[in-house]
Structure 1
Amino acid sequence: MISFNNDYSEGAHSNIIQALTTTNLEQTDGYGEDIYTLKAYEKIKKSLDCEDCHIRFLVGGTQTNLVVISHILKPYQAVISSDIGHINVHETGAIEGSGHKVLTAKGIDGKLTPELIQNILDIHTDAHMVQPKMVYISNPNEIGALYTKKELEEIYSFCKKKNLYFYIDGARLSSALASIKNDINLSDYKNLCDALYIGGTKSGALFGEAVVFFNKTLIDGFQFSIKLRGALLAKGRLLGIQFNELFTDNLYIKCGEHANKMALKLKEVFVKNNIKLITDSYTNQLFLIFSNKMIEEIEKKYKFSFIEKYDDKHSVVRFVTSWATKEENVDLFIKDFEENYKFIR
Structure 2
Amino acid sequence: MERARDVRQLPKAHLHLHFTGSMRPATLLELADKYGIHLPEALRGGQPPKLRATDERGWFRFQRLYDAARSCLRAPEDIQRLVRETAEEDVRDGSRWLEIQVDPTSYAPRLGGLIPALEVILDAVDRASRDTGLPIRVLVAANRMKHPLDARTLARLAVRYRDRGVVGFGLSNDERRGFARDFDRAFAIAREGGLLAAPHGGELAGPASVRDCLDDLRAVRVGHGVRAAEDPRLLARLAASGVTCEVCPASNVALGVYDKPGDVPVRRLWEAGVPVALGADDPLLFGSRLAAQYELVREHHGFTDPELAELARQSLRASLAPEPVRTELLREVDAWLVPSRAEGGRDGRQEAEREHGATR
State if a TM-score over 0.5 links the two structures: no
Which protein has the bigger helix share?
2
Instruction: Give the TM-score normalised by the residue count of structure 2.
Output: 0.30
Which structure carries more relative contact order (alpha carbon 8 Å, separation 6+)? 1
Instruction: Give the TM-score normalised by the residue count of structure 1.
Output: 0.31
Higher-Rg structure is: 1
Which protein has the bigger strand share?
1
